[in-house]
Structure 1
Amino acid sequence: MVTAHLAEDGEPAPDRLPPEGLRPTRAPDLPACLSQRHREPPRITVVVATRDRTPSLLQTLSSLAACDYPDFEVLVVDSAPSTADTQLALRAGAPWPFPLRYVATSTPGLAFAHNVALECGTEEIVAFTDDDVEVDRYWLAAIGEAFADPEVGCVTGLILPAELETPAQFWLEQSGGFSRGYERRRFSLRQPAPEPTFPFAAGRFGSGANMAFRARWLRGVGGFDPATGAGSPASGGDDLHAFLRVVLDGAALVYEPAAIIRHSHRREYDGLRRQAFGYGRGLGAYLTAAVWTQPALLGPMVRRSVPAMRHLLAADSVKNRGKEPDFPSELTWLERAGLITGPFAYAASRWRYRGVGPHPPAQAVSYDAPQPAGALPGGTSPR
């Protein structure tokens, strides 16, 4: 569990240099085998959660097939699908050029789907991406290299637009997009970032479409909060909450711009409107989840509220200074409105997912070998 301890004298402990009394709960849980910087590349499980987007998913898998990395598998989690199209397509494509497993769940929600993937068993490193991206050939190599540092518990990467053709796509980039720049950055309580909102402005760390964790650590903290994430009433925040927990747990989070993916932005304005509101709601849900799971974070969070508001409202802030004169002000206000609804959405999401868990462990179907004709594996049939 993530905790935050306040030093008895009100001063940061000298060995950690934590910002404003925040201290890690324990030293990172690091296997002895990671003590050697030069070693075999870590085994990686790539998790792709999907729902009713079979053509886009197949493009993502095609880009993964071109990855220059010696040891990885892919696990597709079909989140409450309305048809069997995805499973049929994966079976038709077997054998795949990498080990591929498929599992379906009847419970919607991105965070829940990611937790199902953890239950299915993963390799040393688990990397998450979306079903609407194309990964760079060296994406996994950059992630594996970053994890050669035994203090690193999470790696995020650069997310570029796959295309910039419509006003909606340009406006998403103007509002900050998914990129966090081209400079490698390391975040930890031992070396706090200069931003006054650190470590709660977790959006600066990266995005859930391009993130990787040590599987042992992620399982040890119970995975992602299922009451957050796309597909839940909270609409998002699962990635931000996980990033925060990594840092507060004493590990380092590395933003590695060499780990590149290209994301297909929404082309239409209506989709961007929904996205802006959802991002704000997800941010509010993430902050609520952080305090819900660890009330001691409320004090440090309140102390950062003023600079956080400046970041949200100031025209010259990192978030707003890229907006051109034609940027629709409606998008800005929709995001702020979503932020206000975030705590209520998180409470509704907690109610929806009460008592829900991925146990017993889901059974994944392997598609790295040709599949027999007839009924689908696992006793299911096409709908």
Structure 2
Amino acid sequence: MPDPAAVLTADPVPAYRDPRFSVVIAAYTLDRWDDLQRAVASLRAQEPAPHEIIVAVDGNPELLERVRATLPDVIAVENDRHAGAGGARNAGSAVATGEVLAFIDDDVHVAPGWLAALHELFADPTVLGAGGPIRPDWATARPAWFPPEFDWVVGCTFRGSPQEAATVRNLIAANMTMRRDRFEQLGGFRTGFGKVGTRSAPEETDLCIRAGQRWPDAQWRFEPTAAVWHAVPAGRTEPRYFLRRCWLEGTGKAALAAHVGSDAGTSTERDYVARTLPSGVLGGVGEALRTRTVAPLGRAAMIVLGLAFTVAGYVIGTAQERWAAR
């Protein structure tokens, strides 16, 4: 069995007993100003407290100035890298001084005990990074037709995800930590890949897979007690948004597969399609028969539609990637 202190690379990896966390929040719009303030307040309330809070602003000088004027204890930086959330996170990470980087979104607030739950994991030198569940904070009631198997549509942990502590392929950048030295060695989030405008590609999945390929014995850990809440506005509870997001997930996974290979890019998704979704459909039909209600059938139907739109997006996206590579 290899020495845990030499697993990631030939050079020693420290077992952090008391790591300092630099929290990077990617922000881009004044429309989420209240959410951003709530995010910062939730971080200030953590015990232990983060070493520093960095707000990285993407393409919005007015927001940058407001952060500097209103949140003086927060480090505000402008995204001088590639446009999008990944570029903003890279810009924020560039000024960080903590041993561990933590990423959350501007519409996320962390639960009490979040940082404490992640803190102790880095005593294990094989842990490359860690994260936890992302729970939906619905602005309105959860739609009766919205299947929990598709909570990823609104950026949240979905049914079929681990419920207990586990090693996972990838984390989600709304609740994600990583050793800063390894992040820098990897080059951060891939340039020109991710969420920019109407395009959506899973930049955090790309980062996690690249890290796993470079350091195959390292771990990404899921810690169920390190929870955050993700705001879900009313506009994201419409079927039209649901299906559009499924399509973009398909095209994004096609772009990911073009970079890291289809096996690595869809390994988790294959099990999800083979096990989680059929169970959700059968469960919905069974519940409808037992309760003689329509809502479970609606959820089952949306699982089928969501899968169809995602697969269609993947097929079209794969064709586009192959054409572009010619």
Query: Same fold by TM-score, threshold 0.5 exceeded?
Result: yes
The worse-fitting range, judged by mean Cα deviation, of 220-229 and 336-345 is 336-345
The corresponding residue for 2:174 is 209
Task: Tell me by how many angstroms 1:346 deviates.
Answer: 6.2
Tell me if 1:46 matches 2:23.
yes
User: If the length of structure 2 is used for normalisation, what is the TM-score?
Assistant: 0.77
1:90 has 2:67 as partner: yes
Note closer, same or farther for the CA distance 1:103–1:232 as it changes in structure 2 (3 Å cut). Answer: same
Distance 1:315 1:58 in 2: 36
The change in CA–CA distance for 1:253 and 1:32 in structure 2 (over 3 A counts) is same
Distance 2:313 2:243 in 1: 11
- Counterpart residue type for residue 68 of structure 2: R
Tell me the percent identity. 22
Q: Distance in 1 between matches of 2:131 and 2:124?
A: 14
Select 2:257's aligned residue among 287, 308, 311.
287
Structure 2 gaps of 5+ residues are: 285-295
> Shift of residue 68 of structure 1?
1.6
> Root-mean-square deviation (CA), in Å?
3.4
1:183 aligns with 2:183: no
| Alignment deviations for residues 24-61 of structure 1 (CA, whole Å, 9 cap, x no partner) | xx9314875834x7x3x211111111111323222211
Structure 1 equivalent of residue 117 of structure 2 = 142
In structure 1, the residue matched to 2:293 is none
For the residues of structure 1 that align with 2:280 and 2:210, how far apart are their CA atoms? 23
Q: Distance in 1 between matches of 2:198 and 2:320?
A: 5
Aligned counterpart in structure 2 of residue 262 of structure 1, from 225, 229, 240: 229
Deviations 1:241-287 (A, max 9, x none): 12222333121111111111001124231333332222222222222
Distance 1:122 1:338, change over 3 A: farther
Q: Which residue in 1 is equivalent to 2:298?
A: 326
1:1-383 to structure 2, matched below 5 A, reads 27-29=7-9, 34-35=14-15, 39=17, 41-52=18-29, 53-81=32-60, 84=62, 86-96=63-73, 99-105=74-80, 107-163=82-138, 165-168=140-143, 171=146, 173-177=148-152, 178-179=156-157, 180-187=161-168, 202=169, 205-231=170-196, 234-248=199-213, 249=215, 250-268=217-235, 269=238, 270-291=240-261, 309=270, 311-312=272-273, 316-317=277-278, 324-327=296-299, 328=302, 329-343=304-318
Contact 2:101-2:177 at 8 Å conserved across structures:
yes
Give, in whole Å, the separation in 1 of the partners of 2:279 and 2:24.
31
SS at match of 1:45: strand
The number of residues matched between the two structures is 295
Q: Deviations over 1:288-345 (max 9, x none)?
A: 2213xxxxxx6x559x88x965743667557767764213344332222222244467
**Match for 1:216: what amino acid?**
D
Structure 1, gaps ≥5 residues long: 1-14, 17-25, 188-201, 292-297, 351-383
Q: Please report how far the alpha carbon of residue 171 of structure 1 lies from its aligned counterpart in structure 2 after TM superposition.
A: 1.4
In structure 2, the CA distance between the partners of 1:106 and 1:161, relative to structure 1 (3 Å rule), is same
**What is the CA distance between 1:125 and its match in structure 2?**
0.4
Q: Distance in 2 between matches of 1:171 and 1:280?
A: 19
Question: Highest relative contact order (Cα 8 Å, sep 6+), 1 or 2?
Answer: 1
Q: 2:288 maps to what in 1?
A: none
